[in-house]
Amino acid sequence: MSNRSLPTDRQLRWQDLEFGMFCHFGPNTFCDQEWGEGDDPPEVFMPSDFSPRQWVETAAAAGMRYLVFTAKHHDGFCLWPTETTDYSVSSSPWRDGRGDVVGEVAAACHDAGMTFGLYCSPWDRHEPCYDDEAAYDRLYASQWAELLERYGPVAVVWLDGAGSKGHRYNWGMIVGTIREHAPDACIFALGEPDFRWVGNEDGLAPYPCWNVVQSAEQSNNADLLFESYRDSFPHYLPAECDARIRANWFWHPGDQHTLKSAGRLVYIYEHSVGHGANLLLNVGPDDRGLLPEPDVWRLLEMRAEIERKWGRPIATAEGPAEELAVELPRPQAINAFSAMEALDEGEAVREWRLLARVHGRWQGVSVGTALGHRHLARFATVVADAVKLEVKRSDGSHALRRLEVFYH
């Protein structure tokens, strides 16, 4: 028996999502800023053509399987009609104070079968009781209770560490509230996380990017963990890469020139999803409340290129199995593969190699350490009629989930 750290069902479900859209939207969108100080008047929030269905359609067309929305950013402005503060959409003239941004984003996701997640910033630059830790904990937990009760199912709870250094939160209470209202939600980074921050905002995971980590250093601020949780390492804690399609999280009128190229976005995908992490790519809705057309086109270009490279395998082998092999219908050129480890019993593979049969002889074409949730890699072109993936070293027994072979 190995004493491996095991994933929970909700972690496995979250890992299968692989690729999601992050949407930062709020007063900052209308003020050409990233970090509002919490004093922008609610009147600034006035989208002319708010339509989250367009966001969700775009996300689905781009191959994304989840969407995480900023219900409250650091400025403290709540995009739902909350009872916890009057600094919210209810005080804005938008829809005569009867609008509910979070409600419409949630409905658009639920109707389209898009997994839905929420970001609600712990750091709050508006809330007068923020420095009274016990009072703020109660208010913050109530905000999560409202969000999770009204807009569920919520599969991701995104807890951002920015701005909170030195502030103590009662994570036991806050996480208790979140788990009570959304037991299937995966929590990001703080309190008692289910998945961790990869450590940069460039969308790039290192290789190997192990699922089991020895400490929470890769969480964006280790002080912000629940006391008892700190003793639970090594721990199964997969990584998420968050990245921006433009230079900023929120939409700005003057940053269209920073839109990343499709080539760069595919590179990011291959170095996040392709290293076994999830990718949460931010696209900021503009002051109309729509994703800007150039960003939409760019996502579709990205998707087309990912499909071209990784969407049409020449051959596939399905596990679970200790070793996976494919026979090709005839000798043909191959130069890339996708492999997945079955992680239900934890991460076991420590070293693997890929072999191709060329003129009747097996030859090594690629080697590595982690396979994890997914490993995408290229190798020098060979003309082969069979391929097999072998595990050379593992922690106890292991199982491979899928092998796909490509030429591109």
Comparing CB distances to ligand FUL, the nearer of 171 and 310 is: 171
CB of 254 to ligand FUL, least distance (A): 18
Comparing CB distances to ligand FUL, the nearer of 70 and 82 is: 70
Rule CB under 6 A: which of 193-212 touch ligand FUL?
none
Instruction: Calculate Rg over the CA atoms of the chain.
Output: 22
Comparing CB distances to ligand FUL, the nearer of 34 and 351 is: 34
CB of 160 to ligand FUL, least distance (A): 5
Decide: 352 and 391 in contact? Cβ < 8 Å. Answer: yes
CB of 124 to ligand FUL, least distance (A): 13
Cross-strand pairs, 394: 349
Separation CA 396–CA 399 (nearest Å): 10
CB of 80 to ligand FUL, least distance (A): 18
Rule CB under 6 A: which of 212-271 touch ligand FUL?
242, 249
Residue nearest to ligand FUL (CB): 162
CB of 162 to ligand FUL, least distance (A): 3
Comparing CB distances to ligand FUL, the nearer of 102 and 405 is: 102
Comparing CB distances to ligand FUL, the nearer of 280 and 387 is: 280
Q: Terminal CA-to-CA distance of the chain, rounded, Å? A: 42
Comparing CB distances to ligand FUL, the nearer of 81 and 284 is: 284
Q: Count residues binding ligand FUL (CB under 6 A).
A: 5
CB of 114 to ligand FUL, least distance (A): 19
Comparing CB distances to ligand FUL, the nearer of 246 and 309 is: 246
CB of 381 to ligand FUL, least distance (A): 39
CB of 280 to ligand FUL, least distance (A): 8
SS3 per-residue string spanning the chain = CCCCCCCCHHHHHHHHHCEEEEECCCHHHHHCCCCCCCCCCHHHCCCCCCCHHHHHHHHHHCCCCEEEEEEECCCCCECCCCCCCCCEHHHCCHHHHCCCHHHHHHHHHHHHCCEEEEEECCCCCCCCCCCCHHHHHHHHHHHHHHHHHHHCCCCEEECCCCCCCCCCCCHHHHHHHHHHHCCCCEEECCECCCEEECCCCCCCCCCCCCCEECCCCCCCCHHHECHHHHHHCCEECCEEEEEECCCCCCCCCCCHHHCCCHHHHHHHHHCCHHHCCEEEEECCCCCCCCCCHHHHHHHHHHHHHHHHHHCCCCEEEEEEECCEEEEEEEEEEEEEEEEEECCCCCCCEEEEEEEEEECCEEEEEEEECCCCCCEEEEEEEEEEEEEEEEEEEECCCCCEEEEEEECC
Comparing CB distances to ligand FUL, the nearer of 45 and 197 is: 197
- Is 146 a binder of ligand FUL (CB under 6 A)? no
What binding mask, one character per residue, do residues 151-190 give for ligand FUL by CB under 6 A, x or -? ---------x-x----------------------------
CB of 87 to ligand FUL, least distance (A): 18
What binding mask, one character per residue, do residues 3-42 give for ligand FUL by CB under 6 A, x or -? -------------------------------x--------
List residues binding ligand FUL (CB under 6 A): 34, 160, 162, 242, 249
